[in-house]
Structure 1
Amino acid sequence: MAKTMAPYYPIIYVRGYAMTPGEIADAVSMPYMGFNQGATKLRQAWDGRVTKHIFESPLIRLMKEYGYRDCFADGAEISGSLPARSVVIYRYYETADSDLGDGKTLSIPEAARGLQALIQRVRRQVCGDDDELLAAFKVHLVAHSMGGLVIRAFLQNDAISTPADRALVAKVFTYGTPHNGIEMAGINVPSVLGLWDINNFNRQRMAEYLGLPGKPERVDSLDGKFDPQRFFCFVGTNHRDYAAALGVSRLLAGEMSDGLVKIENATVSGAPRAFAYRSHSGPFGVVNSEEGYQNLVRFLFGDLRVDGSLDVDALPLPPSVQKAKDAGKQIRGSYYFEATVAPRGSFSAKLTERRRDTYSAVLRRYDELLRVDRAGRDAPRSPALFSTFLDSKRITVGKTLVFSVELAVSSTGYTIDDSFWLDQHIEGEYLFRDTLTLKLTLGQDGFRLRYLSSDENWSEGQGRLVNPTGDQYLIPLTSSKGFRGQLRLNVSRSG
């Protein structure tokens, strides 16, 4: 019988940036580098309402629910044999501590080389001399903030790793990583700002240590060195609760950020991602959140993936705006697309939440959707709403996975002949809004999908069967105002 570890490979956690000597000392003093930090408050809404919710930390939950263990014993890191289900903490900041190291902070490339060595060490500890286990060995890499850049330097820089090294990585999950650098007040961190290694987040400097050729405008590409479909980005959208630097960071990062990293800079090109109303760190941080954990374990251990996008066929105009258009006046408008996905039975955690009032909704211009020739495109720029991973092993009754998708479409406002239209307009009026309950049943011959409108029907109902079109499922969406479109779902096996 073949020996296998999949999908419960060792997990290596790579912590984020510590700026000052005091922060470095604090980081080194923690055995688990923050992966054991929990939370007791669950922020339910953007307006500040809080409810008590005990999140025990990713480390504790992995131990309790999936049988993982840590890598410490008798006051030291275990140097002998390790079980496959181990959480290993990459303590690359120890060299920067005057008590445990030489006081010198590792550069990103040096930390990436250390990660390469650590992966090889864990492989030996888990597999020993067993050739079958050595051949089956993989590792999951999980990181917060700058830790994700250490991982990318390892994966992408040919001077640091080989294809054989990269092949040992099963999946990568990053929380709040500035994959396209950090901007303060709209300006990328300058390369000359070497104080406390802040220039690690300058795009020119990043291109160098990531091994990206030339001088790219964006540095969020894996450059073909690692499959982006095996790389997940968890993105925070709450800048208000990030308290670092006495609140200066959240002020300079501004809205559409987690208080440090802009939303548009927190993902890898082509990778699945999820969004949550969480800040970069702190009591409402991305790592110590139920939302982050639920995405983490479903991505690492789940066996199903559902990708949702929205095709738009008709975007109605308010009657007075339509009248102006019929009279030959020029109408301009853009649209917000909101999507929230929540599984049944996971506390009240949402797997992803893109909302207008948290500045994380998808924004599209009318021409990008319905007049693609004017937008200079060959096809409509249909909003990609979510990539959700599910785990059929969590089903307790039957063979059906149940989750909800809350969808909304609204206008940012309209201009008529380049003047804002204000008369008779209620700001934020929705063109479409509904919550769909989706029921995905697994069978020997594939998937069976049913859906129902939970705004108009009880979610316990059987729902309407959707016949697949190829490997896609199309759910029609309409409103009494005249909106027409369809939710396009791709369902596939993951692992």
Structure 2
Amino acid sequence: MKLPIVYVRGFAGATSGINKAVDDPFYGFNEGSVHVRVGGGTDSRPHFHQFESPMLRLLLDAHDGPDETYSLLVQGGQKAYLEGRTDGSVSPMTIWIHRFYDEAASTLGSHPEKFTLEEAAKDLFALVQLVLAKTGAPRVHLVAHSMGGLICRSMIQRFIPEITGGGPSAATEYVDRLFTYGTPHGGIEFSVGFGMVERLRDFFDVNGAEIFGPDRMYRYLTPETDQAGERPENWKAQEMPADGFPVERVFCLVGTNPEDYDVALGLSSKAVGARSDGLVQIDNAYVKDAHRAFVHRSHSGRYGLVNSEEGYQNLRRFLFGDLEIDVELHGLRVRGTPDDEIVWHLESQLAIRGLPVLMHEQTTAHHCPVQIEWRESEDSADTPVPLLTTFLSSKAARPEGRAGGALRHALRLRLLSIREKGGIFNFGDHLEQTADFDDTLVVDFAPGDGTRGPRVWATWNSVIPGAIRAWVPGEAFLIADTVEAPGRWRGNIPFPRTAAGILGKDATITLTVTGRGQSLPVTTARAGGAGAEVAAPASARDADATERREERRPWYRRLFGRRTR
């Protein structure tokens, strides 16, 4: 589906930072990079990799077809351009910038207004309504960095329900998907000061940073009619309302590299701690139960999240991919007992053939391995459910001569253990940098072609006799579908036999491929400011619904074969 993209930038700080942000026509979405650390960590030598910027890549890359690229319409001012066009006359495949800081810049007026997140959220809704009216699109994609994600959530969770009177899920009529880079969904906390730094920040509102504290977050994320005086003790900023905007339509990119975040001469990263991107702690950088990926990038700067190949590849796949692939661990039974003093860490790294970066990386060196011993069912950074999720497009170009044009993925898993007693590690029987299990699952995936469903070939690198790049899978490596359900494929891949002694004889990797169909058409009238109805004419709504029905008919058949018809 062709949908507009609205970008919302992050926090700029005091007036000087706001002025600098406003000087940029595209609020930083146009910034690229030339540095990448191969292997991760500041001890690895930087390599040259020219990333043009997410905005430029969206303008250059084809999405739904060879000619389906985004465009950028400015012509002196995006808002003025939109207001001067008739409804439905602007292409939906366009990029728009929410310039919420302009009114607070001293360079554009002698009496700048004070920035408030609430006003930015309300103005974002006005921009979204304007874009939808002029493009005729049913919804928009929101892409946000840092505080920008909180502005988006404030609009989604508080102001759209308040303005439209449409209830907690009203934003689903306006927003299709939300992608955030390094957003402090759980606020900004510090690893020093035992909470005193946060209390001082919130009390004095230093440079407007009070917005990252729990009390202020409660105010702008909760509809005014639902606010019960003081913030409830059990209220959690990272949790979106269960009856509100669906969390499966949210993706959070989490940074794990604090060392390269050099704001305030590196003092910020030291105060926030090693388990962060330099500004936002890992545990606060995602919405509970939403999709996420961990990448070794900093909050911003030379090695930032937004201006990274890793960020763009995750963004593009989430926004435009029509296939969701979930990776889960089943039957894992590590040796030992709950009180045996052994701590188990599982590292995971996901690579896709043809990309110079890792799509996802959780490692001990980056302070975010997966804790697998006596796994909790609750979704968290340490115990993700599922292990990881990635997205693919069935329309993307496939390499020729490779298992029917299959896309190759490589998932490296390393299991490490260390003995701990009373919070202190015991290195008496420890072998540094030595894993108890270390192997790579190689998966070739080919989507359905209209006559049959997806095909998946898989094996472990330890079984491949030569180089991974030279492996050509045969029918013996074809993974059987275990569900035979419409719109879904699921297969199990056992761990190598040599791993049974440590992982358990029933340990398997389960891959689930699910089609992401068109979202339901808008069926209720959208409401504008002051309660004014701006519903599309019945003929337009009917034509839009008819077009989506026609698109939906071949959808399962194209991706999963005729059995789902």
Residues 141, 178 of structure 2: 8 Å contact kept: yes
TM-score where L is the length of structure 2: 0.76
Provide the secondary structure at the position in 2 that maps to 1:430: coil
Residues of 2 paired with 1:420 and 1:84: CA distance? Answer: 56
Residues of 2 paired with 1:14 and 1:254: CA distance? Answer: 26
Q: Which amino acid is 2:50 matched to? A: I
Which of residues 159, 163, 176 in structure 1 aligns to 2:162?
159
1:322 matched residue in structure 2 = none
Q: Which amino acid is 1:98 matched to? A: S
Residues of 1 paired with 2:102 and 2:420: CA distance? Answer: 57
- How many angstroms does 1:298 deviate by? 0.6
State how 1:339-488 maps to structure 2 within 5 Å. 339-346=348-355, 348-364=356-372, 366-368=373-375, 384-396=386-398, 397=400, 398-411=404-417, 413-415=418-420, 421-443=426-448, 444=450, 445-457=452-464, 458-459=467-468, 460-462=471-473, 464-470=477-483, 471-478=489-496, 480=498, 482-484=501-503, 485-488=507-510
2:514 matched residue in structure 1 = 492
- How many angstroms does 1:479 deviate by? 6.0
Residues of 2 paired with 1:435 and 1:306: CA distance? Answer: 17
Between structures 1 and 2, the one with greater helix share: 2
Q: Deviations over 1:306-362 (max 9, x none)?
A: 111223533246xxxxxxx9xxx962222111111122223x122111111111211
Residues 337, 383 of structure 1: 8 Å contact kept: no
Are residues 361 and 123 of structure 1, via their aligned partners in 2, closer, same or farther at CA, if it must alter by over 3 Å? same
Are residues 234 and 422 of structure 1, via their aligned partners in 2, closer, same or farther at CA, if it must alter by over 3 Å? closer
Q: Deviations over 1:152-208 (max 9, x none)?
A: 000001335554444111111000000000002253733323121111000121011
Residues 15, 106 of structure 2: 8 Å contact kept: no
2:206 matched residue in structure 1 = 195
Residues 328, 509 of structure 2: 8 Å contact kept: yes
Are residues 233 and 216 of structure 1, via their aligned partners in 2, closer, same or farther at CA, if it must alter by over 3 Å? same
Identity %: 36
Q: Which amino acid is 1:57 matched to? A: S
Residues of 2 paired with 1:261 and 1:211: CA distance? Answer: 22
Q: Deviations over 1:347-378 (max 9, x none)?
A: x12211111111121124x3337xx9xxx9xx
- How many angstroms does 1:44 deviate by? 1.2
Are residues 415 and 125 of structure 1, via their aligned partners in 2, closer, same or farther at CA, if it must alter by over 3 Å? closer
Q: Which amino acid is 1:435 matched to? A: T
Residues of 1 paired with 2:272 and 2:497: CA distance? Answer: 37
Are residues 173 and 388 of structure 1, via their aligned partners in 2, closer, same or farther at CA, if it must alter by over 3 Å? same
1:130 matched residue in structure 2 = none
Q: Which amino acid is 1:461 matched to? A: V
Residues of 2 paired with 1:246 and 1:466: CA distance? Answer: 52
Which of residues 49, 52, 69 in structure 2 aligns to 1:56?
52
Residues of 2 paired with 1:393 and 1:282: CA distance? Answer: 33
1:147 matched residue in structure 2 = 148
Gapped runs of 5+ residues in structure 2? 63-68, 484-488, 518-565
Is 1:123 paired with 2:145? no
Are residues 124 and 406 of structure 1, via their aligned partners in 2, closer, same or farther at CA, if it must alter by over 3 Å? same
Residues 491, 510 of structure 2: 8 Å contact kept: yes
Residues of 2 paired with 1:334 and 1:48: CA distance? Answer: 27
Residues of 2 paired with 1:32 and 1:307: CA distance? Answer: 34
Q: Which amino acid is 2:434 matched to? A: E
Residues of 2 paired with 1:491 and 1:148: CA distance? Answer: 28
State how 1:229-308 maps to structure 2 within 5 Å. 229-308=248-327
Residues of 2 paired with 1:197 and 1:289: CA distance? Answer: 28
Q: Which amino acid is 1:35 matched to? A: F
Residues of 2 paired with 1:173 and 1:251: CA distance? Answer: 27
2:32 matched residue in structure 1 = 38
Point out the more displaced range, 396-405 or 59-68: 396-405
- How many angstroms does 1:217 deviate by? 4.9
Residues 174, 232 of structure 1: 8 Å contact kept: yes
Residues 334, 502 of structure 2: 8 Å contact kept: yes
Provide the secondary structure at the position in 2 that maps to 1:63: helix
Which of residues 71, 83, 105 in structure 1 aligns to 2:73?
71
Equivalent residue pairs, number: 460
Is 1:26 paired with 2:26? no
- How many angstroms does 1:429 deviate by? 2.9
Which of residues 300, 314, 320 in structure 1 aligns to 2:333?
314
Residues of 1 paired with 2:479 and 2:439: CA distance? Answer: 18
Residues 5, 94 of structure 2: 8 Å contact kept: yes
Residues 42, 51 of structure 1: 8 Å contact kept: yes
Residues 441, 447 of structure 1: 8 Å contact kept: yes
Provide the secondary structure at the position in 1 that maps to 2:152: helix
Residues 255, 277 of structure 2: 8 Å contact kept: yes
Provide the secondary structure at the position in 2 that maps to 1:73: coil
Provide the secondary structure at the position in 2 that maps to 1:41: strand
1:91 matched residue in structure 2 = 99
TM-score where L is the length of structure 1: 0.87
Deviation >6 Å, runs of 4+: 416-419
